[in-house]
Each structure stands twice: as structure tokens, then as C-alpha cells.
Structure 1
Amino acid sequence: MDLHQLQAFDQIVLYSSFSKAARKLGVSQPTISLRIRALEQEVGGALFQRNGRHLSLTELGQSFLPYTQTALRAMTTGIDVARRTHEGERGQLRIATLPSLAAGFFATALARFYHDHPHIDVAIHTGHTQEICEMLYEHYVHLGFVVGPFFHPELSPLLSLKEPLILVTYPEHPLAQAEHITLAEIVSQGQPFFLIDWNVEVKRWQSHLLSAAPSSTIEVPPQTAYDLLMSGQGVALLTRAMVEQEVKTGRLVELHAQQIPQFHRESLLMHYTTVSSLPTAVKVWLRFFREEARHYCLDSR
């Protein structure tokens, strides 16, 4: 049993004629007759009966017809989905990301992607680097963002991001009005100064500051530091992308301290090395993300 046989059966029922069905399908009448005989052998009996010039379905044909139509609809839908998937209009997009990267330009890229491709199934998962690596190993996601630098023989980077880290606080903080701020003042007057484990370099710098000028500190994840700042507490080193809109609108204030190094948070977009080709939907999303990332990142390749 094949698709051509089912199409022949369906068209003969529609037109009540072998010859009209043959013309519709672009084949000869002997060809369509051969297809029906082969199909009848498969189902075990005659599908049509003639009463003079009138053609009608047998009981077997009547029972088989709904399943034929269901199969043809499924095949048509499947072909359409396959075509749309190939063209990037349908498919799946599964990405794992760091919680602190799930907002900002990541969210903007995702919103643009969904607006243009609403029929693609999207799933975004968050986790730490080790959890994201496991999702990649198990092929649970197509792509995953991890903290850089990162090296693994089975994972390869598609994109390297370096986001500037800036010192920010809320507008009513005493340091927000000061023109010249020292690092010692930030630590001693942070009320509190939030410690965030961005990378080894930042962690070493923070440890050095605290050893020189002990102060009230709280070690928190980036999102927690952001929420506390927005509620009117403390000073934190956050990525510019996380707070850019808040700084522009005055809900947060960037502090310009003397002698502060230029820190960055490095992230790598990884995929499983053995995957020869990414799905079309993933490639389309990657194009949107590259466009958004260029506005915020020093290094996107």
C-alpha cells in the first residue's frame, strides 16, 4: 500500500469516476485501475461496485474510506510541516542559558524571533554551567550558554560574548550624588556591597578590596543583587545589559569610581561537537541573537 494508491481511491470516490480521477491525478486510466486493484489486494476485497454506469463503494470501501482520508490529511500536513521546518517556519528551538543571561538582549532576540516565527516551538531552560553541559550531552537542548572561559572536547563554541560589568546603585544612595568615589568608599559605604561570583578575576578583585577595607557585604546571585538594588539597597557590579534600561530611566545610577578595572562577564554559546548541522529554526534564532548581541557585547563572532 502506498500514497499513490490511497490518492487514487480518494479521487475516484470524489469524482465517482475512474477516468475523471485519472485526469485529476495526471495519469492514464489503466494506471489508476492498476493502483486500485493493488489496493484491493491489500485490503482483501473489492472497494467499488458498479450498478450500470453508476459507481459506488462496497461495504469494505465505505469502512476503509475514513482511514484513507485521515492518512492523506496526515501525509499532507506532514509534508507541509517538513517544508516549513526546512524553511525555518516550523520546528523546535531548545536553549539552555545562565539565569543572569535570560533577560536583556537574550529576551529581546527571543521576542523578535517569536514575532517573526510564531509557529516554532520554543523551550528555554536555565541552569548553571554544569547543568547546561549535561543538557547538551543528553541532547535535551540544541544550544547552551556557559560561563567562560570553558573548554571541553565534546562541546564547541558558536559565539563568544563579553559583557561589560558596571557599578550601580539606587538613586537615593549617598554615593549616587558623589562626583568622585574611591573603591574604599564603595566597599565601606555600600550598605551593603553585594558580592557576585562573575569570574575568577572579579572574585580576586573583590577579595582584595575586602581585605583592605572590611565592610558589610552579602554574597548573592546576580538576579538577587538586581532585585535588592531596585528595592533601594546596596551597591553591586552587574552587567550593563542587565541594567541598561534602568540606568537610562534613572531607576538605577551608574557609579564611576577611580581606579576600577574594566571587568567583563564572558559567556560562550556552546553546541555538541558531533552534531553536524543545526536545525534551521536554531540557525534562524542564532541570526536574531547575533544582531542583538552586537549592541551589548565587545566580542561576538
Structure 2
Amino acid sequence: MLDSRHIRTFHEVVSSGSFTAAARALGYTQPAVTQQIRALEREAGVPLFTRDGRRMKLTEAGQTLARHAEVILGNLGAAAQQLQALARLRAGRVRVCAFPSANATLIPEAMARLIAEHPDVRVELQEAEPPESVNRLLAGECDIALSFSYPGIRTELPPDVVEVPLMEDLLTVLLPVGHPLARRHAVRLAELAQARWVAGCPRCRANFLHICADQGFEPDIVFTTDDNLALQSLVAAGVGLAVAPSLVLSFLCHRKVTGRALEPHVRRQVSAFVLRGHLPLPATAVVLAELQRAGASRVGC
């Protein structure tokens, strides 16, 4: 069995390039680093370093361990974070990480009811676009991650992660007020094949390119931004049209921009993600329940 402390020291030696530099980075003496490496070699049953003049070189076994060391240490770090998260959840403290439009809509509605009905539960809010929000969940940096996905564009998740659907969010095309098509209730995407476009976050851009390809054209994307207000201002200024979720328009709508449903209809799935082992904990359960209620109240947006 390899000692994780010895692996950490070995990784620092490899990363820093010498026993001396590793000792300085770890706050050890050089003999202490040497002793730990020798102990690791005894555990492994093979030498990990060989001397080449004044330099120490990795043996073949050392190179193999070096490839695994960062992953091992990363997994240990994630495990420690998840154990700490479990302790916080048992104490009624929940860290929620969500994308901006969910933070501006679903979260306030859910948190207002949570405060009224479960005042002992405390929520810490983070913000990140997917897939970063789910990556934080896997790393133990948050307890519930809100994310969205588009039809045909799904990310495989580890079996210990559970998806809790919250709502379906209809996509709209953003037009400047006064645009000839703004008088319609819905607009066919194929009619806009010759338009200039402003695109949003990477996941939204990927979906936009996908649905345009389905309609037989490649969009002329002249500007990209993750900022919803900037995106709408660019549409208002005539830089290009844009596609945005209804959830965004429910809290942010430029006075010189109007949204119309796309035909064919496209919806993104908004979900919460949580580790399976955390589902039964009361704090997790009540926050998820309030997020589901908030999502249900917006179905059909």
C-alpha cells in the first residue's frame, strides 16, 4: 500500500525538479524528503529515481508513478472535499452553484420560500456556467449544481451523480424592436439564414450551430459574449440577431429588443445535480424541493 504522504512528496520532487526545491516548497528538510522517497521506493518495491551525474532522473517505474500521482492526489483532494461537504450538509449548510440566469430567477424564488419554511437551513451561492458547475460538484466544491443541456447535446455523468429535472426553457430569437418579423408570434429559423448573429456562452453557441445546421445553413456569427445584457444591447444596436432562453427574458429584457419563439421549438433542460449519497440528507432534500417548486412555476416560459 502506497502512503499518500509519500506520493505527495514524490509529486513535489517531480514537479519542482529536485529534492532541495521540493523540501523548500513543502517546508521539510532535504533529508526528510530523501527519507520519504526511500520509504516510497520500499513500498513500491522498485527504485523510482536514478542518478545521472548531479541530476536525479526518473526510472521507468518512477515515470509510471508520476503519471498516476496527480490523479491520485486529485482524487484524494476531491474525497476530502466531499467528506467536508457531508459534514456541512448535516449541519444544515448547503452550497449551490448555478448559471447566471438561474441565479437571477429560480434561486431567489426558491430561497425566499426556504427562509420562510426552513429558517435553519443556510445556503451559500456560487455562480458558474456548465459544465464548470457540475465539475465543482464532482470536486466537492459545491453540494448542488444547476446546469442546462440541449437536445442531442448531453454530457455523460458518473453513476454517483443524480440529475433532478427542474424545468424546460423555451428558446427565443431576439430581434430589434421594429424588425419586420417582430410582428409575428413565432419566427422560423430558416428565414434568418442570411442574418448576422451574436452568440452566447460556449454551450449555447454549440447548440445554436447545431440547430442552424439542422435548418440547412451556417450562421454568420459576428460577435460572441457571455454577458446577457451585452448580448441584448448588441441586438438593439443592430449588430446582429441572437437566440436566448426565455428564462433570461423573464428578468432581463432591453427596451429596444423583443423576443419571439423559434420554429421549430427548441427547449433546453434545466436540472439540478447532486451526489447520490447526499440525496437523503434533510438540508439537501429541502433545497432540491424548493428548486423543483420554483422550476414548476416557470414551466411553459
TM-score, length basis structure 1: 0.54
1:217 aligns with 2:217: no
User: Does the aligned pair in 1 maintain the 2:172–2:244 contact within 8 Å?
Assistant: yes
Match of 1:267 in 2: 270
- Structure-2 residue corresponding to 1:295: 297
> How far apart, in 1, do the equivalents of 2:280 and 2:193 lie?
49
Deviation at 1:129, TM superposition (A): 3.5
Q: Distance in 1 between matches of 2:143 and 2:187?
A: 45
Q: Deviations over 1:21-63 (max 9, x none)?
A: xxxxxxxxxxxxxxxxxxxxxxxxxxxxxxxxxxxxxxxxxxx
**For 2:100 and 2:169, how far apart are their aligned partners in 1?**
15
Alignment match, 2:158 = 152
Change (3 A) 1:167 1:254: same
Shift of 1:123: 0.8
With over 3 angstroms needed to count, the CA separation of the structure-2 counterparts of 1:184 and 1:140, relative to structure 1, is closer
Structure 1: runs of 5 or more not aligned = 1-84
Query: What amino acid maps onto 2:248 in structure 1?
Result: M
CA distance in 2, matches of 1:262, 1:203: 15
Shift in Å, 1:118: 5.0
Structure 2 distance, partners of 1:139, 1:189, is: 43
What does residue range 188-227 of structure 1 map to in structure 2 within 5 Å? Answer: 188-190=194-196, 192-194=197-199, 197-198=203-204, 201-207=207-213, 212=217, 215=220, 217-221=222-226, 224-227=227-230
Does the 8 Å CA contact 2:137/2:143 hold for their aligned counterparts?
Answer: yes
- The 1:266/1:180 distance shift into structure 2, 3 A limit, reads closer
Residues 1:235 and 2:245 aligned together: no
Q: Is the 8 A contact 1:168 1:252 kept in 2?
A: yes
Q: Is the 2:167–2:269 Cα contact (8 Å) retained in structure 1?
A: yes
Note closer, same or farther for the CA distance 1:175–1:226 as it changes in structure 2 (3 Å cut): farther
Residue-by-residue CA offset, 1:161-214 (whole Å, 9 max, x unaligned): 321111123425554356885535534345x443553385543123466x7376
Between 286-295 and 166-175, the greater mean CA deviation after superposition? 166-175
Q: Please list, as runs of the form range in 1=range in 2, the aligned pairs for 1:76-91 lying within 5 A after superposition.
A: 91=92
Q: Distance in 1 between matches of 2:286 and 2:186?
A: 46
**CA contact 1:195–1:217 (8 Å) conserved in 2:** no
Q: Is the 8 A contact 1:194 1:225 kept in 2?
A: no
Per-residue deviation at 1:92?
A: 1.1
Tell me, in whole angstroms, the C-alpha distance in 1 between the residues paired with 2:274 and 2:139.
12
Cα contact 1:145–1:269 (8 A) shared by 2: yes
Structure 2 residue aligned with 1:255: 260
Write the mapping of 1:17-28 to structure 2, written as runs, cut at 5 A. none
Amino acid at match of 1:219: T
2:33 aligns to what?
none
Residues in 2 aligned to 1:253 and 1:112: alpha-carbon distance in whole angstroms: 31
- Distance of 2:219 and 2:136 partners within structure 1: 40
Corresponding residue of 2:65:
none
Pairwise CA RMSD of aligned residues? 3.6
Q: Find the aligned partners of 2:126 and 2:186 in 1 and give their Cα distance.
A: 42
TM-score for the superposition, normalised by structure 2:
0.54
1:132 correspondence with 2:137: no
Give the AA of the match of 2:212.
Q
C-alpha distance in structure 1 between counterparts of 2:169 and 2:187, whole Å: 23
Q: Give, in angstroms, the shift of residue 100 of structure 1.
A: 3.8
Structure 1: how far apart are the matches of 2:249 and 2:148? Answer: 19
Question: Size of the alignment, in residue pairs?
Answer: 203
One-letter code of the match for 1:283?
A
Amino acid at match of 1:289: L
Task: Go from structure 1 to structure 2 and tell me whether the alpha carbon gap of 1:127 and 1:171 turns closer, same or farther (over 3 Å shift).
Answer: same
Letter in 2 for 1:217: V
Shift in alpha-carbon separation, 1:215–1:178, aligned structure 2, 3 A: farther
| CA distance in 2: counterparts of 1:179 and 1:277, whole angstroms | 44
| Residue 176 of structure 1, aligned match among 173, 182, 191 | 182
State the alpha-carbon separation in 1 of the partners of residues 279 and 145 from structure 2. Answer: 16
